[in-house]
Amino acid sequence: MSQDQQADYLPMVRPEIDEETIAGVADVLRSGWITTGPQNQRFEAELSAYFGGRPVKTFNSGTATMEIALRIAGIGPGDEVITTPMSWVATANVILEVGATPVLVDIDPLTRNLDLDLVERAITPRTRAILPVYLAGLPVDMDRLYAIAREHKLRVIEDAAQAMGSTWKGRRIGSFGDMVSFSFHPNKNLTSIEGGALVLNNEEEAKLAVKYRLQGITRTGYDGMECDVLGGKYNLTDVAARVGLGQLQHLARFNAQRLTLVRHYFEQLEGGAALKLGTQLPPRDFENSNWHMFQIMLPLDKLSIDRAAFMAQLHQRGIGSGVHYPALHLFKLYRARGFGPGMFLHAEQFGRASVTLPLFSSMRREDVERVCRAVNEICEQYRI
């Protein structure tokens, strides 16, 4: 690809890091303390304030955050955890990682999130937890979720990796509920390069989180050290924490910009070739979602090209796109555990036909228009 083309290439996502944050990172690097320390403490405190004062502990990835949440809940071999096949594979992998059994249920094709009717039906005496995912930042029906959990005495470990700043009936995701896990991967609405945070119920859980985060060690005084559980190496560096702090200041603006761009997407796609052919748009939620992604579903039976070719066409027009996600139960690791095609039809269909279009806070209105023109053009060109 030539330089010119690269210059106006529209990526699917691009983190927005301001100069103050970059300068702040330089200060941390010069400070002599670069791994977990004062910046991390501040980041945890600001996150805790953001979530209404609940205890928050950081980790070096969203995946680590989820795994430790499961360990804190005491979930392990013999336990079942109900989750969705339409997520990043980390969601189910962490359940395997702690030795428990992932029980998958299909998604609701409208919300693309796990279907709570199916969750209720999947509960057995071995079920210990529900692990919902808020795909693209759209929460599930939180009232219903917690009603089910209460009735069946289950833990809820929310994979809110994509839902930083999402709300439910005006309350922030993470400010209520059981354990809530976030990811700060560069693609997410708030990034710390890599990282994650767990919102906990009480100080006891927070202490466990700190212990599991660093080798299972507890320290007392200058030279007292004890290790009584098997922990890992999951702490967040101060460099990463400083990036996260810089992002947190702008999160409200980031999410407001995403919402504005999403409204523009809906307007621009209205009445175009893509919709006429049957392209499906995301649910029009302008209340709760932080609009982590804008995902369309292609009408593959009306097109002479497959999804990969569709994405290649976007790329040729200088537009990035992505797949979030292939249904995870179709991966070999899960097929080897008895899952397979035909088990979760809505997730499989979405996994085959969905395309994630560009959406990020520094994207412009004319970028949205360019994407919509391209999508309509490709649909027009390759309609059967």
Question: Which residues participate in catalysis according to the annotation?
Answer: 188
> Considering the rule CB under 6 A, would residue 185 count as an interface residue with ligand PLP?
yes
Inter-axis angle of helices 38-50 and 238-248, to 10 degrees? 30
CA distances (Å), origin 214, targets 56, 65, 239, 241? 16, 12, 18, 17
Sole binder of ligand PLP in the list 80, 158, 159, 367 (CB under 6 A)? 159
Structure tokens at 116: 């709570």
- Which residue number, 135 or 154, has a Cβ lying nearer to ligand PLP? 135
Question: By CB under 6 A, how many residues form the interface with ligand PLP?
Answer: 14
183 belongs to the binding site for ligand PLP (CB under 6 A): yes
Q: Which is nearer to ligand PLP, 140 or 378 (CB)?
A: 140
User: Is the Cβ of residue 50 or residue 234 nearer to ligand PLP in the bound state?
Assistant: 234
Closest separation between CB of residue 365 and ligand PLP, Å?
26
Return the HEC string of the chain. Answer: CCHHHHHCCECCCCCCCCHHHHHHHHHHHHHCCCCCCHHHHHHHHHHHHHCCCCCEEEECCHHHHHHHHHHHCCCCCCCEEEECCCCCCHHHHHHHHCCCEEEECCECCCCCCECHHHHHHHCCCCEEEECCECHHHCCCCHHHHHHHHHHCCCEEEEECCCCCCCEECCEECCCCCCEEEEECCCCCCCCCCCCEEEECCCHHHHHHHHHHHECCEEEECCCEEEECCCCCECCCCHHHHHHHHHHHCCHHHHHHHHHHHHHHHHHHHCCCHHHHHCCECCCCCCCCCCCCCEEEECCHHHECCCHHHHHHHHHHCCECCECCCCCHHHCHHHHCCCCCCCCCHHHHHHHHHEEEECCCCCCCHHHHHHHHHHHHHHHHHHEC
13 makes contact with ligand PLP (CB under 6 A): no
133 is a contact residue toward ligand PLP (CB under 6 A): yes
Among 36, 63, 191, 361, binds ligand PLP (CB under 6 A): 63
- 237 near ligand PLP (CB under 6 A): no
Q: In the bound complex, which residue of the shown chain has the CB atom lying closest to ligand PLP?
A: 62
Give the residue with the Cβ less far from ligand PLP, 328 or 363.
328
Nearer residue to ligand PLP within complex by CB, 51 or 88: 88
Residues 70, 90, 261, 319: which binds ligand PLP (CB under 6 A)? Answer: 90
Draw the binding track, 188-207, toward ligand PLP (x: CB under 6 A; -: no contact): --------x-----------
- 344 contacts ligand PLP (rule: CB under 6 A): no
Applying CB under 6 A, among 55, 62, 244, 299 the residue interacting with ligand PLP is 62
Q: Is 166 in the site for ligand PLP (CB under 6 A)?
A: no
> Quick check: 162 binds ligand PLP (CB under 6 A)?
yes
Q: Which of 43, 50, 51, 88 touches ligand PLP by CB under 6 A?
A: 88
Q: Between 40 and 268, whose beta carbon lies closer to ligand PLP? A: 40
The reply on whether position 161 binds ligand PLP by CB under 6 A is yes
Q: CB of residue 183 vs ligand PLP: minimum separation in angstroms? A: 3
Binding site for ligand PLP (CB under 6 A): 61-63, 87-88, 90-91, 133, 159, 161-162, 183, 185, 196
